[in-house]
Amino acid sequence: MFSWLGKQGGGRERGGGTDVVQTVTGGLRDLYLRKLLPLEEHYRFHEFHSPALEEADFENKPMVLLVGQYSTGKTTFIRYLLEQDFPGMRIGPEPTTDSFIAVMYGETEGNIPGNALVVDPKKPFRKLGRFGNAFLNRFMCSQLPNEVLKSISIIDSPGILSGEKQRISRGYDFCQVLQWFAERVDRIILLFDAHKLDISDEFSEAIKSFRGQDDKIRVVLNKADQVDTQQLMRVYGALMWSLGKVIDTPEVLRVYIGSFWAHPLRNTDNRRLFEAEAQDLFKDIQSLPQKAAVRKLNDLIKRARLAKVHAYIISYLKKEMPSVFGKENKKKELINKLPEIYIQLQREHHISAGDFPEVKKMQEQLENCDFTKFHSLKPKLIETVDNMLANKIASLMNLIRQEESNMPTEMVHGGAFDGTMAGPFGHGYGEGAKEGADEEEWVVAKDKPAYDEIFYTLSPINGKISGISAKKEMVTSKLPNSVLGKIWKLADCDGDGMLDDEEFALAKHLIKIKLDGYELPGTLPSHLVPPSHRKPFQTAE
């Protein structure tokens, strides 16, 4: 994938007063350091929202954050993906994982404790030190040589507690830590147990801390093999209802249903569904390295928009403060009027309401600030960020596309991912249009006697039926004309506008494939070519 930070540093030239970002390698960091960071520092953005980005934030591998209530299978899910144990792993029905564990690649197996981890400049965790020893004692990095971890890193989080347990203090702000990770990871996976769908208060707060990161969230309904089909339908409906109450988006979240562990399925009725869902989830995770560059760019844009809004808020509060008397009373008045200030700034600067930080949280943070030490608005800093968003980002996006087209597609390999790629246990092997691919006999032959009976009722002439006769039979399938037209093109091997008995049998076989819920092939696979057409068909190709 892209190396976001090269040894050459920023990778920039000065020509005619215009900075030209030459490569993706230094481009993103260069934009942040020169265009956005000055605005953030001037208006104390890091105290209110997110710490300054460092080199490791730009060059780290894609990260996947797992979040869920205890005993929903988070650690088992990681074990399933890696196909091996990792240092510090504990699995059980009770709340076993009481720490944040960053599972990362390393040449040798071992653990790195939190206090050592946050001083390592090569790891993207240095800013976590602000959460104090209570958190750092519950944070560690688990390193091991695993093929999967060469492409991604996985963050295992403590099981979220329910009932009375959630009132026990963790000693650090759990939701703030989750929010910190959410801003930096590429994918957030929420795990639910088919038998434990209740969303506790702490879990609800945790999900709300992902506000603004909705595009990263995926939901996994785990242990789905422990219920039958009817129960699974009800469980899925209950889950969607519960999620709708805590995730405030009009779009429906993607939910993957399955049983993600290497044990026999307890209920095999939905085996095909579980396999298809697992394949879709694997494809989503496998694509993360390829999309990492665009994700970092997208996060930088979101950060820049928030930083601009923050600058407008802080400068407005500074402007409204009296120069001599009544400062404390004015401060309280401005904090109480913050929702109205938001509306005023939206109109004045044509900013969307969705770009503003949460009102209550901002009011709480402003309580401890001295407004007289805030800075007035500096239009030049705003213009610099606007120029970055309007021009520099577009040129960097073009560079990313160029590198993507010039480099082979990078995918996650190893572990459970390799078990689904090829061979007879690959998803869809021997099904639909792939059925009979490794058999010597023509796969249509077993049903041909039944197809022949229909064929001869259509009054063939010289062993062939016309397109009109074939259409009368084919439309009985009730498939749309666009699909039947594709089937006709695939079945008419010699392109003479008529079908012989083998071509007709092939057409009926393709209709059956479509009616069974499989996709039609783009071109006719060699094993589906009728025996009497194989030589001329292959010669024509």
Q: Are residues 242 and 303 in the same domain?
A: no
Q: Are residues 353 and 319 in the same domain?
A: yes
Q: Are residues 373 and 440 in the same domain?
A: no
363 within domain boundaries: yes
122 within domain boundaries: yes
Mutual orientation of helices 448-456 and 501-515 as an angle, nearest 10°? 120
Write the CA distances from 406 to 6, 392, 399, 409, integer angstroms.
18, 21, 11, 9
Give the pLDDT confidence of 184-224 residue by residue, as tens digits: 999 999 999 888 787 888 888 888 889 888 889 999 999 99
Q: What is the spatial distance between Cα 298 and Cα 294, in angstroms, rounded to a whole number?
A: 6
Q: Are residues 190 and 310 in the same domain?
A: no
Specify the pairing of strand 100-105 against strand 110-113. unpaired
Q: Are residues 35 and 87 in the same domain?
A: no
As for how many domains the chain has, the answer is 3
Q: Are residues 516 and 443 in the same domain?
A: yes
**200, exposed or middle or buried, with CB in 10 Å at 0-12, 13-18, 19+?**
middle
421 within domain boundaries: no
Give the pLDDT confidence of 300-309 residue by residue, as tens digits: 999 999 999 9
Write the CA distances from 523 to 83, 520, 529, integer angstroms.
37, 9, 11
β-sheet with 139-144: strand ranges across = 110-113, 139-144, 100-105, 153-156, 63-68, 187-193, 217-222, 255-257
CB neighbours (10 Å) of residue 462? 6
Domain that holds residue 376: 24-53+294-406
Q: Are residues 123 and 162 in the same domain?
A: yes
Q: Are residues 117 and 98 in the same domain?
A: yes
- The residue out of 253, 287, 321 marking a domain boundary is 287
420 within domain boundaries: no
| Token digits of residue 470 | 């074939």
Q: Are residues 86 and 123 in the same domain?
A: yes
pLDDT of residue 26: 66
Phi, psi values for residue 190, rounded to 5°:
-95, 120
58 within domain boundaries: no
Dihedral (Cα; 533, 534, 540, 541), 10-degree rounding: 140
Q: Are residues 251 and 155 in the same domain?
A: yes
Q: Are residues 386 and 528 in the same domain?
A: no
Q: Tokens 């059956």, residue? A: 512
Residues ≥6 apart with Cβ < 8 Å to 73:
191, 193, 222, 223, 260, 261
pLDDT of residue 425: 58
Give the 3-state secondary structure of residue 156: strand
What's 383's domain CATH number? 1.10.268.20
Residues of the chain with pLDDT under 70: 1-26, 92-97, 162-169, 250, 404-409, 419-429, 536-541
- The residue out of 287, 314, 345 marking a domain boundary is 287
540 within domain boundaries: no
Q: Are residues 219 and 76 in the same domain?
A: yes
Q: Is residue 44 left, alpha or beta, with left meaning phi > 0 and alpha meaning psi from -120 to 50? A: left
506 within domain boundaries: yes
What's 509's domain CATH number? 1.10.238.10
What's 273's domain CATH number? 3.40.50.300
Q: What is the spatial distance between Cα 239 and Cα 186, in angstroms, rounded to a whole number?
A: 24
CB neighbours (10 Å) of residue 335? 18
Q: For Cα atoms 222, 152, 184, give the angle at the middle one, nearest 5 degrees.
A: 90
Q: Are 143 and 105 in contact (CB under 8 A)?
A: yes
Longest dimension (CA), the chain: 106
pLDDT of residue 244: 83
From first CA to last CA, the distance across the chain in angstroms is 37
- The residue out of 236, 265, 287 marking a domain boundary is 287
Please give the model's pTM, rounded to 2 decimal places. Answer: 0.74
Residue at 108: amino acid letter? T
Beta partners for 141? 102, 112
411 within domain boundaries: no
